[in-house]
Amino acid sequence: MNAPGPRTMGQQFGRRSWAEPWKIKMVEPLTVTTRAERERALAEAGYNTFLLKSEDVYIDLLTDSGTSAMSDRQWAGMMLGDEAYAGSRNFYHLESAIQRIYGYRYIVPTHQGRGAEHLISQAVIKRGQIIPGNMYFTTTRLHQELAGGIFHDVIIDEAHDPADLHPFKGNVDLDKVQALIDLHGAGNIAYISVAGTVNMAGGQPVSMANIRALRALCDRHGVRIYLDATRMMENAYFIQQREAGYAERSIAQILKEFCSYTDAAWMSAKKDNLVNIGGWLAVNDRELFEELRNLVVVYEGLHTYGGMAGRDLEALAIGIEESVRDDHIRSRIGQVLYLGELLAEWDIPIVRPIGGHAIFLDAKAFYPHLAQIEFPAQTLAAELYLDSGIRSMERGIASAGRDPQTGDHHYPKLELTRLTIPRRVYTQAHMDVVAESVKAVYDARASTRGLRMGYEPKYLRFFQARFERL
């Protein structure tokens, strides 16, 4: 008989196991397909996982956006929807939740994150202005560019190296910001665009020391800081775990301190805030608020619903309260770490340190024989789907798009495939199945061929592009 080895991750890592602070009340059956069915479905989808039908997917790790499970309290809140066109009571709940938990003064609801990005970009960016940011995000940068702005990456260099173990790879490089201010003048900087955590870098956090130092720098030059707060709860968790002086502080306290160093925030509530749809803007400046409140009625809806139903506003208000709880965020990120540690143990190349919302497979290291223009990350997403029906997302050259000035492809240093973990949806057993499938695809890597792009849409091409096998 074999000697009994460690049976749980807790035993394996010499610590006590954690478990989710909830139990499951309702279930949704999953579909299991055959390899032949997946071959057909993927070919029909042009080798783009965005174009698959969700019914053809087994474990869906495309995104953590709008895919969370809501709590019984949120569902109960949906029954309290006040569907008045103006002045819905649910809006006032939401407003007070954001004011209390994030600490900003004025709130404008939007239908989702990019609705908020659109409004704030139109309101504050003047043609030709520079927007320094800690790495681009697809929709964020596009709205900045459509408003006439020019995005400049000012994230620290470590963020571009998937193997670098810097604990705060989302940090802003203050020298890069200073250099842009010196070159263009503070008046030509629309604002600094800070995201916590940084999605495209692998869900990497920004430290409190960094945002505090950035605030001091910006105060010297009169430059504003706007926060993409989409995964800021997760950022707060990493500060609590990794930054000296914060171990005893709650997620709520850390979040509020971080936000206090910024002038405004936009939010895709579909992530941290545990709802299936929604977004918001929050600002401290009264004049900017007036402008945003004016724009929201043009593009989203009246300023007390912004494209959401009353019931959605209520679920969101409750979701914010739940998402800031320490036990929630610990188990949310704990599950991501569980999957990442399994893969790392098998020497599968992933972005380190493990980030907050996803495991990012390093497709360049996975497929060293593929050129970047053969779409290694897209290829990996396709292979994973073929192996097991798991859906992931490309975050490499297809997502990076083209330079609007030259028309050339952006060639990002990071060529990643994202296994994004929805909140409160899958179990540890699902994570085991995912890890084993990644391992099977890794073991077959040498014979894998790349892709070429057949159809390329003009905006955010990764969503609808079609590929062919080489």
Q: Does 140 bind ligand F0G (CB under 6 A)?
A: yes
Q: Which stretch binds ligand F0G (CB under 6 A): 106-114, 171-179, 406-414, 438-446?
A: 106-114
Q: Is 195 in the site for ligand F0G (CB under 6 A)?
A: yes
Which residues are 282's β-sheet partners? 107, 265
- Residue 323 within binding range of ligand F0G, rule CB under 6 A: no
Q: Is 199 in the site for ligand F0G (CB under 6 A)?
A: yes
Quick check: 193 binds ligand F0G (CB under 6 A)?
no
Q: Is the peptide bond before 139 cis (omega within 30 degrees of 0)?
A: no
CB of 182 vs ligand F0G, minimal distance in Å: 28
Note whether 349 binds ligand F0G by CB under 6 A: no
**235-134-95 Cα angle (round to 5):** 50
272 binds ligand F0G (CB under 6 A): no
- Which CB sits closer to ligand F0G, 227 or 370? 227
- Please report the beta strands in 176-275, taking only residues with DSSP state E, as ranges in sequence order: 192-195, 225-228, 264-268
Question: Which residue sits closest to ligand F0G, CB atoms considered?
Answer: 113
For the chain, what percentages of helix, strand and coil (3-state, to nearest 5) are there?
45, 15, 40
Cα(338)–Cα(184) distance, integer angstroms? 45
Kindly tell me which of 12 and 139 has the beta carbon lying closer to ligand F0G. 139
352, 129 Cβ separation under 8 angstroms? no
Instruction: Indicate the residue among 139 and 284 with the shorter CB distance to ligand F0G.
Output: 139
Calpha distance 279→116 (Å, rounded): 7
Site for ligand F0G in 274-293 (CB under 6 A): 279
95 binds ligand F0G (CB under 6 A): no
* Least distance CB 292 / ligand F0G (angstroms): 16
By CB under 6 A, tell whether 207 contacts ligand F0G.
Answer: no
Residue 33 binds to ligand F0G (criterion: CB under 6 A): no
**Could you give the CA distance from residue 451 to residue 380 in angstroms, rounded to a whole number?**
10
Which element (helix H / strand E) includes 298?
helix 286-299
Q: Which of 112, 144, 210, 323 binds ligand F0G (CB under 6 A)?
A: 112
Q: Binding ligand F0G by CB under 6 A: which of 171, 230, 378, 417?
A: 230
Find out whether the peptide bond into 353 is cis, omega within 30 degrees of 0: yes
Please, which residues have CB within 8 angstroms of residue 65's CB and are 6 or more apart in sequence?
A: 268, 270, 271, 420
Stretch near ligand F0G under the rule CB under 6 A, chosen from 39-47, 133-141, 217-225, 241-249? 133-141
Residue 418 CB, shortest distance to ligand F0G, in Å, is 8
d(CA 29, CA 161): 39
Decide if residue 273 touches ligand F0G (CB under 6 A): no
Token duo for residue 410: 């952006």
Nearer to ligand F0G by Cβ, of 229 and 431: the residue is 229
DSSP 155-171: B-GGGG-TT---TTTT-
Q: What is the total count of residues that contact ligand F0G (CB under 6 A)?
A: 15
Interacting span for ligand F0G (CB under 6 A) from 6-14, 108-116, 334-342, 362-370: 108-116
Helix residue spans in 324-403 (DSSP H): 326-345, 363-366, 376-388, 397-400
- Name the residue nearer to ligand F0G (CB basis): 271 or 352: 271
Provide φ and ψ at 331, rounded to 5°: -75, -30
Q: Is position 228 an interface residue for ligand F0G (rule: CB under 6 A)?
A: yes
Binding to ligand F0G by residue 417, rule CB under 6 A? no
Measured CA to CA, the distance from residue 13 to residue 237 in angstroms comes to: 21
- The catalytic residues are 85, 137-138, 228, 271, 395, 462
| Residue 270 within binding range of ligand F0G, rule CB under 6 A | yes
Q: How far is the CB of 421 from ligand F0G (least distance, A)?
A: 12
Cβ contact 160:414 at 8 Å: yes
How far is Cα 136 from Cα 142, in angstroms, rounded to an integer? 9
* Residue 65 engages ligand F0G in binding (rule: CB under 6 A): yes
Q: Which residues pair with 266 in a beta bridge?
A: 228, 281
Residues 343 and 365: beta-carbon distance below 8 Å: no
The distance of closest approach from Cβ of residue 252 to ligand F0G in the complex, given in angstroms and rounded to an integer, is: 21
Sign, CA dihedral 34-39-40-42, equals positive
Contact 215, 207 (CB under 8 A): no
Q: Is residue 71 part of the contact set for ligand F0G (CB under 6 A)?
A: no
State the nearest-atom distance from the C-beta of 133 to ligand F0G, in Å: 11
Among 63, 90, 323, 378, binds ligand F0G (CB under 6 A): 63
- Write the CA distances from 363 to 146, 162, 164, 290, integer angstroms: 30, 10, 16, 45
Least distance (Å) between residue 10 CB and ligand F0G: 30
Minimum Å distance from CB 347 to ligand F0G?
27
120 contacts 104 by C-beta, under 8 angstroms: no
The answer to the question of residue 464 lying near ligand F0G (CB under 6 A) is no
Binding site for ligand F0G (CB under 6 A): 63, 65, 112-114, 137, 139-140, 195, 199, 228, 230, 268, 270, 279
